[in-house]
Each structure stands twice: as C-alpha cells, then as structure tokens.
Amino acid sequence: MMAHKKRVGMEVSIAVSHAVQLARAEAIAAYPITPQTHIVEHLSSLVANGDLEAEFVTVESEHSAMSACIGMSAAGVRTYTATSSQGLALMNEIVFITSAMRLPIVMTVANRALSGPLSIWNDHSDIMAARDIGWIQIFTENGQEAFDHSIMAFKIAEDHRVLLPTIVNLDGFILTHVVEAHEMMDQKTVDRFLPEFKPYHKLDPQKPVTMGAFAMPELFTECKMAHQMALTNSYGPILEVWQEWGKLTGRHYQPVETYRTEGAKVIIMMMGSLGQVAEVAVDAMRDQGIPVGLVKIRLWRPFPFADLRAALAGAEIVVVCDRALSLGGAAGPVLAEVRSAMYPLAVKPQILGYTVGLGGRDVQPEAFEELVRHAQAEVKQGPSQEYYIYGVRG
Amino acid sequence: MSKAWDQVTWQEIEVGGVLTEPGSARNYNTGDWRSSRPVWDKTRCIKCGICWTVCPEAGISEDADGYFEMNTYCKGCGICVKECVTGCIEMVVEES
Amino acid sequence: MIEIRFHGRGGQGAVTSVELLALAAIEEGKYAQGFPSFGPERRGAPVLAFSRVDDKPIKLRCKIVKPDVVVVLDASLLAIQKPANDLKEGGIIILNTNKSAAEIRQEYGYTHTLALVDANKVAREVLGVPIVNTTMIGALLRATGVVQVETMEPPLKERFGPLAVKNFNALKVAYEQTTIEERRS
C-alpha cells in the first residue's frame, strides 16, 4: 500500500529538517551558513522544543562541526550535519577523515558558489571542490527528492556493507528557499523503513579500539584501496535502498535518470535542479520535432559508469552542463567525468561542455534550446573550443 | 595485527582502519631503538621509584623484590640516570 | 499554470505573500511554488517575489520573466521596476493605489487589465498598520481566483497567530473593494 499521499506545502529546507527528524537523528553539530540556515535553525527548534530527541551541538565553525560529528558518530549514534559553500570548504580537512574512518554521517549540502568574489548564490563549486572526499554524493532536483533522499541517505550510509558518510546535495535558494508541495511520511512508516542505527565499530570503554590510527607507507595504499572498493561497492546497496523506497512511496530513483531519450540524437546532461528546467526545454524542442533527450546524474559518487554509457548509447551529440568551472583545466567536472567514461567506447558521441548558472545566474528553459543549437553548429564545423561558458558577456 | 605490515592486503584492512585489539602497541618493542641501556646498582638503590615515575615510555618495571629494571620498551634516553636520587643508575653501551 | 510576480520593497512582505499563496494553493490540492528573488534582504530596497500555481507538478526553477500577473505593493515601484514591461499579452496588473484606472493608464500608458485597490487605506483601517501584503492578496484573488478566499485563512493563522483575524479581514475588505477594468486594445 502506498504511504500517505496528501501533499503538504512547506519550504524545502523545512521539509529536509523534518526528514532528519523522521530519521530520528540522535546527534547534530552544525554551524549556520546561507543558504543552509533554515535547515539547521529548524532542527535546532525541534530539539529545543523536545520534538526531536537529539544532542544539538552548537559549534564555532564547520571545522568543529564535522569534528564533533566524527566524535558523536564514533560513539555510536546517528549523526547529521548540513553546510554550504565556505562551510564545506572549512570542513575540507575533516571530511576526508570522516570517510576514511567509515563513519556513516549524513550531510546536506545546500549548494552555493565558493568565494570569490563573494557570492551567496547557487552553483556547484562547493561540492566539486569536495568531489574526491570519499563520500557517497547524491544530487536532488526538487523538494520531494531532497526530503526522500535525506531519509534514504541514513539507511544507505549505515548499511554494514556500505558504512560511508553520505552527502545529499540540493541547490541553494533555488530549492532551499522555495515553498512547494511535498508528500510527507509518517513516523511509523519511516521507522519500519529505517531501523535503529547499529554501529559497526564504536568507542566503548568495555571494548576498547583505536580509531583514526596512522598508516605507514607500507599500509597507506591498501587503506585507500579498501576505501575505494567500499565506495565502488556501495552502488548495489544504494540501489536496494532506492528500490525499497520506490515500492514504499511510488517514487523511484535511479543513479542515472533519463527523460525522453528514445530516439534522441542530442542529449542534454546535468545534475541538480536544472534537470527539471531542462525537461521543459526538451518538451518544447520535441514539439518542434528536434530529437532531444535528457540524461541526469543523480549518483555522482560512486560514479555510475555503466548506467551512463547505457543512457548515452545512440546519442550523436551530448551537451554536458556544468554548474562549476575547473579553473585552468579543460572542462567542468561533470564534462571531464562524462568524457572519461565514454572515451574507451569504440562508438562514442561528440561531447560538448557548457558551464551554466554560476553564482546564481538564472537559467531559463530557452537556454537549453540555445545550447542544443550551438552544439549542433559546433559539431558541424568542428568544435572551436574545449568547452564553453554559457551567457558570459564579452 | 599479527601479519607484517608490508604483507597485509587491502581486503584485510579492518573497516575504517580501526585497530580492534586494545593495547596492541605493546607488541611494538621500542627497545629496538636503544643504543645504550640503564643498569641499576642494587646496593645503592633505595627503591624510591623516581626512575619508574619519570620514565616517559613505561620502559622500567618493578621486580618482585621492589627493585627496578628496564624492559623491552626502554629506548635508552637516560632520563632515569639524570633523575636518580642516589645516582645508582648508569648508562652502558649496548654492544659491551 | 499561472505565474504571478510580486513587486515590493524589503519589509513589505512580498515574500510572505507568495509563501502564503503557495500554502493555500497546495492545501487546495494544486501544485505551487513561492520563492523570493534570492539575496540579502534589505529593508526598503525594491524586491521581487514569485509564485507559480498549476494543476500538475511544476518543473520550472527559474525566475518569472514573463508573468501572467504582477502584483505591485507600492505604486512608487511602477517607475523604478517597470513591472508591466514583460507582462504577458492579456496579463493583469494589480496595483495598490488611490488613483483611478483612467489616471493610471494616462500616467503609465498601460493597456493591460487593471485591478486597483487602495490597500494602504484598507491596511490602515483594518490592520492599523500600513503593511499591505495580505491586503493585496485580496485584490489578487478578486482579479484571478487563483485560490479561494477561505483557503487563505489556515496559512494566515499559522503565520500570524492572533493577528491572523485582522489580516484575513483586510484581505476580505480588499477583495470587496478591488475594481477591475478590462484591457484596452
């Protein structure tokens, strides 16, 4: 039977904090930063009002937030935090340790540009600077997805076959500050879906262990390989959790999602909330008879190579939209990943990269129509650039 | 970990690099680092235990009679010699 | 889908308006978005707030650049923001003013449908303060019927608590007093 179907209006940030409440997070340490603020403010109220039985540790920085989270998770409790932009950058030193210690902390990242120039607005430069931190990284397109994945992330992270911290990305402001409709879950259903956290190792005076030990050169490579394999092998359990959620709610999620790709010669790609805007553009182009489809990456780490190759099979041109820039490099991070995934194939599409929507630049559906026309012209004459920055003046 | 470090495979790494055996540092005999050793003259030792107290590495043990001697963790730093009240400890070069 | 853009000044409650409207529309079983023109809020500075309402899930995640309706909380913004410039053909301008439709048309050259109410007066008389955001929702509902007047009551209660009654009354008074003049070709 489908769970509770009534849609409830609320700000997406509030929906995310309710998801964390429903997941019965036991420990939270966070520092407020725009545009993540409403999430942790609301969680703080829930804890203060006794609506969520959790320890809320107020800290003086994100560096301390993640450090406190490591301690709390190591002590064996379900641990959550949220951050954004500079906050994630300040955490950077610690987030690698979190994943190497295999602590299943869940973190929401309200994606925002990294300074400078100072910008509080959305792009993906924060998470791309943390791309290689060894966490599971999931992207969401709307409030419902942010809510759903915030609950599912705990189940994935805490699975003893996984034991990896997990980030749920949602676009800052574009999602966090929008009041929209959500199908909520009741506590009973979530409790059945998400059992109590059972730590694999924990700090226990009765059974002492050493966590966070150093590794000599003779062991370091083996430790990294073990981490790499854990992240790669988390793919199966991630899918299991998403399938179970699909059965429970009727909302199905895939590592790579496609929209109207049947017979598509041109495929547009991206991650995050732009995906929905692009669907509108694809509908418009299909109406004009242009064979365009959409491929969206939901699971960024571990990267779903096989799913991507299957999704792009048959495409002649792939237009990859990045909401970040790899300064001094040849491309945006998604473009680099897609090109590298497709390179070994004997038959591969032309892959063009566009950086769009930096630092809160509004992206209207017409932008995708422009990109498709531009890409088609470039392929015809031979691409003039390694990649393009859409809408840049001058 | 009973296996030598450079023999351990990635599959054998414990989840999160956790060391599950408490006090496993005990297996690491830092006494290998020693080039000279403290030797007690029991005729002058008053069993005060200052040497045991000041040793930074738990490298000194008390024997059944209440006298002190170095163990396999003594790195030969010589702090005990410097601090001994009666001057009954002497550093002796390992080879001799 | 109807796309509504609120024009106001920081502190006038444009963002609250779109949020309340979204909550009411969702309560009616519709899909809706309410969101601000994201940025640091500055009291008095011209701001935009956006509202989309539809019977099916809304995919657009961008600003509203071709609205069906503009709601202008403060007539002094007409000259600054030029809210009607990108209004859809057949769109509606909803304006807080004590002027007549003829005067507004003469002053700004508008040909769109106008819905006018002296929200300042209503707010002063009913609320006791010149904050017109909830009052102007009354004018919006009169001109568009985007949600039922009654559906606005629960979100107002949730947001304003004991002050909700006055706000709901101001909304209803504005609903009654709004005059609508169809577009001129």
Please state the domain extents for chain B: 37-96
Domain boundary pick from A249, A267, A285? A249
Q: What are the C-alpha distances in Å from C91 to residues A2, A264, A294, C110?
A: 40, 36, 32, 11
What CA–CA distance (Å, rounded) separates C8 from B88?
Answer: 89
A2 falls within a domain? no
In terms of domains, do A88 and A163 share one? Answer: yes
Please state the domain extents for chain C: 2-181
What CA–CA distance (Å, rounded) separates A338 from A309?
Answer: 9
Q: Which one of B11, B15, B23 has the shortest CB-CB distance to A163?
A: B15
CA of A157, closest CA in chain B: separation in Å? Answer: 13
Within 362-381 of A, beta carbons closer than 8 Å to C belong to 362-365
Domain residues for A21?
Answer: 7-249
What CA–CA distance (Å, rounded) separates B28 from C184?
Answer: 92
- pLDDT per residue, tens digit, chain C (185 aa), is 999 999 999 888 999 999 999 999 999 999 999 999 876 667 888 899 999 999 999 999 999 999 999 999 999 999 988 999 999 999 999 999 999 999 999 999 999 999 999 999 999 999 999 899 999 999 999 999 999 999 999 999 999 999 999 999 999 999 999 999 998 76
SS3 of residue A74 by DSSP: helix
Judged by phi (left if over 0) then psi (alpha if -120 to 50, else beta), residue A190 lies in alpha
- pLDDT at residue C185, as a whole number: 66
The superfamily in CATH containing domain C2-181 is Pyruvate-ferredoxin oxidoreductase, PFOR, domain III (3.40.920.10)
User: Which chains border B (3 or more CB–CB pairs < 8 Å)?
Assistant: A
Compare all CA atoms of chain A with the CA of C32 and give the residue at the minimum distance.
Answer: A180
B→A contacts (Cβ < 8 Å), by residue, are: 5-6, 8-13, 15-20, 22-24
Hey, which bits of chain C come out as E strands? 2-9, 31-36, 46-54, 69-72, 92-96, 113-117, 179-181
CA of A297, closest CA in chain B: separation in Å? Answer: 28
Q: What are the C-alpha distances in Å from A188 to residues A22, A182, A192, A195?
A: 9, 18, 6, 11
CA of A30, closest CA in chain C: separation in Å? Answer: 22
Q: Which one of A9, A273, A362 has the shortest CB-CB distance to C22?
A: A9
Task: Report yes or no: A74 and A83 within 8 Å, Cβ to Cβ.
Answer: no
- pLDDT at residue A1, as a whole number: 40
Under the banding of pLDDT at 50, 70 and 90, the label for residue B28 is confident
pLDDT tens per residue, range A183-221:
999 999 999 999 999 999 999 999 999 999 999 999 999
In terms of domains, do A321 and A215 share one? Answer: no
Provide, rounded to the nearest whole percent, the portion of chain B with pLDDT above 90. Answer: 76
> DSSP of A172-191, one letter per residue?
TTTTTT-EEEEE---HHHHH
Please enumerate in sequence order all residues whose Cβ is within 8 A of that of A371, keeping only pairs 6 or more positions apart, or say none. Answer: A268, A319, A321, A354, A356, A390
Domain boundary pick from A217, A249, A281? A249
What CA–CA distance (Å, rounded) separates C70 from C126?
Answer: 24
What CA–CA distance (Å, rounded) separates A280 from C44?
Answer: 35
- pLDDT at residue A114, as a whole number: 98
Q: Which one of A179, A360, A363 has the shortest CB-CB distance to C34?
A: A179
Residues of chain A with Cβ-Cβ distance to C25 below 8 Å are 9
- pLDDT at residue C40, as a whole number: 65
Compare all CA atoms of chain A with the CA of C154 and give the residue at the minimum distance.
Answer: A9
Task: Decide if A209 and B22 are in contact by the 8 Å CB cutoff.
Answer: yes
Nearest Cα residue to A352 out of A306, A388, A308: A388
Tell me: pLDDT of B1 over 60. Answer: no
Under the banding of pLDDT at 50, 70 and 90, the label for residue B96 is low
CATH number, domain of A298, equals: 3.40.50.920
Q: What is the dihedral of CA A351, A352, A355, A361, to 10 degrees?
A: -110
Residue A209 C-beta-side C-alpha neighbours within 13 Å: 19
| Encoded tokens for B12 | 């054998």
- pLDDT at residue A320, as a whole number: 98
What CA–CA distance (Å, rounded) separates C71 from C94?
Answer: 5
| Other beta carbons within 10 Å of A393 | 3
A324 falls within a domain? yes
Q: Which one of A208, A213, A221 has the shortest CB-CB distance to B17?
A: A213
What ipTM score was computed for the predicted complex, to two decimals? 0.95
- pLDDT at residue B2, as a whole number: 67
In terms of domains, do A42 and A150 share one? Answer: yes
Length of chain C: 185
Contact call for A and C: 3+ CB–CB distances under 8 Å: yes
pLDDT tens per residue, range A40-95:
999 999 999 999 999 999 999 999 999 999 999 999 999 999 999 999 999 999 99
CA of C158, closest CA in chain A: separation in Å? Answer: 12
Task: Report yes or no: A153 and A225 within 8 Å, Cβ to Cβ.
Answer: no
Compare all CA atoms of chain B with the CA of A165 and give the residue at the minimum distance.
Answer: B16
Task: Decide if A218 and B6 are in contact by the 8 Å CB cutoff.
Answer: yes
Task: Decide if B17 and A103 are in contact by the 8 Å CB cutoff.
Answer: no
In terms of domains, do A275 and A238 share one? Answer: no
Task: Report yes or no: A326 and A336 within 8 Å, Cβ to Cβ.
Answer: yes
Handedness of CA C63, C66, C68, C73 (dihedral sign): positive
Give the mutation candidate from C16, C37, C38 for the A interface (greatest A CB count, under 10 A).
C38
Compare all CA atoms of chain B with the CA of A102 and give the residue at the minimum distance.
Answer: B16
Task: Report yes or no: A342 and A307 within 8 Å, Cβ to Cβ.
Answer: no
What CA–CA distance (Å, rounded) separates A124 from C173?
Answer: 46
| Encoded tokens for B91 | 């550093």
- pLDDT at residue B94, as a whole number: 87
CATH number, domain of A85, equals: 3.40.50.970
Task: Decide if A209 and B19 are in contact by the 8 Å CB cutoff.
Answer: yes
What CA–CA distance (Å, rounded) separates C86 from A208?
Answer: 68
Tell me: pLDDT of B29 over 60. Answer: yes
Domain boundary pick from A224, A249, A274? A249
Under the banding of pLDDT at 50, 70 and 90, the label for residue B4 is confident
SS3 of residue C99 by DSSP: coil
Contact call for B and C: 3+ CB–CB distances under 8 Å: no
CA of A97, closest CA in chain B: separation in Å? Answer: 9
Residues of chain B with Cβ-Cβ distance to A102 below 8 Å are 15-16
Within 264-293 of A, beta carbons closer than 8 Å to C belong to 273-274, 276-277, 279-280
Q: Which one of C22, C40, C65 has the shortest CB-CB distance to A179?
A: C22
Q: Which CATH class is domain B37-96?
A: alpha beta
Task: Decide if B17 and A225 are in contact by the 8 Å CB cutoff.
Answer: no
User: Which chains border C (3 or more CB–CB pairs < 8 Å)?
Assistant: A
- pLDDT at residue B20, as a whole number: 92
- pLDDT at residue A2, as a whole number: 44
Task: Report yes or no: C138 and C172 within 8 Å, Cβ to Cβ.
Answer: yes
In terms of domains, do A265 and A220 share one? Answer: no
Query: Beta A179-183 vs A7-11: how paired, if at all?
Result: antiparallel
Q: What are the C-alpha distances in Å from A19 to residues A104, A300, A343, C32?
A: 17, 22, 39, 21
Task: Decide if C26 and A276 are in contact by the 8 Å CB cutoff.
Answer: no
C→A contacts (Cβ < 8 Å), by residue, are: 18-19, 22-23, 25-27, 29, 31-36, 38-40, 57-63, 65, 155
Number of structural domains (chain A) is: 2
| Phi, psi (degrees; rounded to nearest 5) at A216 | -70, 160
Nearest Cα residue to A42 out of A69, A82, A84: A82
Q: Give the residues of chain A that fall short of pLDDT 70.
A: 1-4
A327 falls within a domain? yes
Q: Counting one residue from A and one from C, how many pairs have CB atoms under 8 Å apart?
A: 74
